[in-house]
Amino acid sequence: SACMGPASPLCAFVPQVTHYKQYPPNTSKVYSYFECRETRTEPTKNRKVKYDKTVFYGLQYILHKYLKGKVVTPEKIQEAKEVYREHFQDDVFNEKGWNYILEKYDGHLPIEIKAVPEGSVIPRGNVLFTVESTDPECYWLTNWVETILVQIWYPITVATNSREQKKILAKFLLETSGNLTGLELKLHDFGYRGVSSQETAGIGASAHLVNFKGTDTVAGIGVIKKYYGTKDPVPGFSVPAAEHSTITAWGKDHEKDAFEHIIKQFPNVPVSIVSDSYDIYNACEKIWGEDLRSLIVSRSADAPLVVRPDSGDPLDTVLKVLEILGKKFPPTENSLGYRVLPPYIRVIQGDGVDINTLQEIVEGLKEQKWSIENISFGSGGALLQKLTRDLLNCSFKCSYVVTNGLGVNVFKDPVADPNKRSKKGRLSLHRTQSGHFVTLEEGKGDLEEYGVDLLHTVFQNGKIVKTYTFDDVRDNAKLKDTEKEELLK
Amino acid sequence: VNPITHYKQYPPNVSKIYSYFECRCKKGSPFNEVVFFGLQYLLKKYLTGAVVTEEKIQQAKVFYQMHFRQTVFDEDGWRKILEKYDGRLPIRIKAVPEGRVVPRGNVLFTVENTDPEFFWLTNYVETMLVQMWYPITVATVSREFKKILAKHLRASSGSIEGLDTRLHDFGYRGVSSQESAALGGAAHLVNFCSTDTVAGLLMAQRYYSCPMAGFSIPAAEHSTIISWGRSREKEAFEQMLEQFPTSPVSVVSDSYDIFKACKHIWGDKLKDRVMERSEDSCLVIRPDSGDPTETLLQVIQILEECFGSSVNSMGYKLLPSYLRIIQGDGIDLGSIEQKLRDEGWSSENVFFGCGSALLQKINRDTLNCAFKCSYVENNGQGMDVYKLPMTDPSKGSKKGQLTLSRNSDGLLETLEKGVGKPEEDLLVKVFENGSLLQDYSLEEIRRKAQLTEEDEVAPPRHNGEHKGSGGGLHILNGQH
Q: Do B385 and A216 touch (CB under 8 A)?
A: no
Report residue A380: phi and psi, to 5°.
-115, -95
Q: Do B365 and A30 touch (CB under 8 A)?
A: no
pLDDT band of residue A44 (cuts 50, 70, 90) is low
Under a CB-based contact definition with an 8 Å cutoff, are residues A101 and A461 in contact? Answer: no
Q: ipTM greater than 0.95, yes or no?
A: no
Q: Do B216 and A88 touch (CB under 8 A)?
A: yes
Query: How far away is chain A from the Cα of B183, in angstroms, using its nearest Cα?
Result: 8
Q: Do B127 and A150 touch (CB under 8 A)?
A: no
Q: Do B385 and A248 touch (CB under 8 A)?
A: yes
Burial class from Cβ neighbours inside 10 Å (0-12, 13-18, 19+) for residue B161 reads exposed
Q: What is the mean pLDDT of residues A454-479?
A: 98
pLDDT higher than 80, residue A436: yes
pLDDT tens column, A303-332: 999 999 999 999 999 999 999 999 999 999
Any idea what the Cα angle at residue B358 is, between residues B353 and B362, rounded to 5°? 155
* Residue A351 is assigned to a ligand binding site: yes
pLDDT at A9: 62
Q: What is the mean pLDDT of residues A435-452?
A: 89
Distances (CA, A) of B348 to B159, B252, B280, B291, B341: 10, 19, 14, 21, 11
Residue of A nearest to B46 (CA): A198
Residue window 317-346, chain A: list those with CB within 8 Å of chain B. 317
Burial class from Cβ neighbours inside 10 Å (0-12, 13-18, 19+) for residue A411 reads buried
Q: What is the pTM of this model?
A: 0.93
The per-residue pLDDT string of chain B (480 residues; one tens digit each, 9 = 90 and over) reads 788 888 889 998 999 999 999 999 998 999 999 999 999 999 999 999 999 999 989 888 888 888 888 888 889 999 999 999 999 999 999 999 999 999 999 999 999 999 999 999 998 898 889 999 999 999 999 999 999 999 999 999 999 999 999 999 998 889 999 999 999 999 999 999 999 999 999 999 999 999 999 999 999 999 899 999 999 999 999 999 999 999 999 999 999 999 999 999 999 999 999 999 999 999 999 999 989 999 999 999 999 999 999 999 999 999 999 999 999 876 788 889 999 999 999 999 999 999 888 999 999 999 999 999 999 998 889 999 999 999 999 899 999 999 999 999 999 999 999 999 999 999 999 999 999 999 999 999 999 999 998 777 554 443 333 333 333 343 333 333
Output B463 or A446, whichever has higher pLDDT.
A446
pLDDT at B461: 40
Residues A369 and A338: their CA atoms lie apart, in Å, by: 5
pLDDT band of residue A180 (cuts 50, 70, 90) is very high
Q: First CA to last CA across chain B, in angstroms?
A: 26
Any B CB within 8 A of A404 CB:
no
Length of chain B in residues, anyone?
480
Residues A468 and A54: their CA atoms lie apart, in Å, by: 18
Of B235, B257, B391, which is closest to A311 when you measure between CB atoms? B391
Residues B188 and B165: their CA atoms lie apart, in Å, by: 11
Residues B438 and B292: their CA atoms lie apart, in Å, by: 44
pLDDT higher than 80, residue A448: no
Query: How far away is chain A from the Cα of B212, in angstroms, using its nearest Cα?
Result: 7
- The radius of gyration of chain A's CA atoms, rounded to the nearest angstrom, is 26
Q: How many CB atoms lie within 10 A of CB B470?
A: 17
Interface test with A, best of B246, B369, B391 (most A CBs within 10 A): B391
Q: Do A244 and B196 touch (CB under 8 A)?
A: no
pLDDT > 70: percent of chain A:
96
* Residue A74 is assigned to a ligand binding site: no
Of B128, B255, B391, which is closest to A276 when you measure between CB atoms? B391
Query: How far away is chain A from the Cα of B158, in angstroms, using its nearest Cα?
Result: 28
* Residue A308 is assigned to a ligand binding site: yes
* Residue A69 is assigned to a ligand binding site: no
pLDDT tens column, A322-369: 999 999 999 999 999 999 999 999 999 999 999 999 999 999 999 999
pLDDT higher than 90, residue A472: yes
Residues B113 and B116: their CA atoms lie apart, in Å, by: 7
Residues B342 and B320: their CA atoms lie apart, in Å, by: 20
**Who contacts A46 (Cβ-Cβ below 8 Å, separation ≥6)?**
none
Average pLDDT along chain A: 93
Q: How many CB atoms lie within 10 A of CB B428?
A: 17
Output B330 or A89, whichever has higher pLDDT.
A89
Query: How far away is chain B from the Cα of A317, in angstroms, using its nearest Cα?
Result: 8
Under a CB-based contact definition with an 8 Å cutoff, are residues A325 and A354 in contact? Answer: no
pLDDT at B317: 97
DSSP string, A67-101: ISS----HHHHHHHHHHHHHHHTS----HHHHHHH
pLDDT band of residue A398 (cuts 50, 70, 90) is very high
Output A163 or A93, whichever has higher pLDDT.
A163
Under a CB-based contact definition with an 8 Å cutoff, are residues A357 and A381 in contact? Answer: no
Any B CB within 8 A of A398 CB:
yes
Residue of B nearest to A397 (CA): B223
Contacts of A143 in chain B (CB under 8 A): 221, 223-224
pLDDT at B473: 41
pLDDT at B463: 30
